[in-house]
Every structure is written in C-alpha cells, then in structure tokens.
Amino acid sequence: MSPGPRPTIEIGPMRIDFLVEADDSNGSLTMFEVFVPAGARMPLPHSHDGFEETAYVLEGRCTWTVDGETTEFGPGESVCILRGQVHGFQNLGGEDVRFLTVASPGVFGPAYFEDVAGVLAAAAGAPPDPSAMSEVMRRHGLTPAPPPATA
C-alpha cells in the first residue's frame, strides 16, 4: 500500500503526478501520470541507461520520437523505450494529453522533475540555461541527446 498523498510537480504547462515511488515498490519501479497541454513539446530528447520507460496513453494523442522514428499514440496505446534509446515527445494536437509512465527499475523519481522545475524557474520565462538543464539530466541518469545535425 502507498502511504498518503504523492507529489504533484508542475514544469511550465506540464504536470506530473507520482503514483508509485521507488520506496513503495522496493525499488522495482516508479509510476507517474503526465499531463501535457495541447501544443506543448517536452522534454528535451534524451536517453537513459539505468531504466526502461513505458508510456500508456490515457487521453488525447501524443507524438513520440524514439531513435529517429516518429509515431503518434492514442488512448489505449503504449510505447516502450529501452535503455539507451534516444527519445522525446510532443503534443501536436488540439487536445490535452494524459499518459501513465512506468520506469523500471525505480531509480527515477520526483527529484528529477523538481530540479528541472527549478532550472525553469531560474530562467524566469526566458529559455532555460542549457548547461544547467544538461547537468540536472546527467545527475538523474539521463543523457541529453546531441543537437540534430544541420546542413
């Protein structure tokens, strides 16, 4: 059983509601619901070597790019991101999206999102400091993807 209320973290227009933290599952997983408003693009493309990530769409349609392949997912559909795969998502549609995310093992939790929110708050509406964002990502086991090559 989960003890009491879980953290809700707001990062700009995105909201993350933690449902299961690592301590609740003896470290086997973390689970959180993500709300992404229409037209939002988040997060920076990245990979992670310490856990798999699976997203299951509850409402709306969300576009995921995994290792360069872009696919749109709707309610009842899921995407599994393996360790090392570069990925990111965006909500290109006109409706809000909600999806459930499971990270296994449970080495990824609320602290990452709280740290990202801090970097965005420090930017005070301007674009966030890329080096600060990269440092937060690395500290929490994520590897920022290199910028796309330009011709």
User: Is the pLDDT reported for residue 2 higher than 60?
Assistant: no
The residue with greater pLDDT, 44 or 50, is 50
Tens-digit pLDDT profile for residues 111-121? 999 999 999 89
pLDDT interval class at 41 (50, 70, 90): low
Phi-psi region of 124 (alpha: psi -120 to 50; beta: other; left: phi over 0): left
CA-based nearest residue to 104, from 28, 48, 24: 28
Tens-digit pLDDT profile for residues 83-106? 999 999 999 889 999 999 999 999
Domains of the chain: 12-108 (2.60.120.10)
Residue 150: per-residue pLDDT? 59
What global pTM score does this model have?
A: 0.87
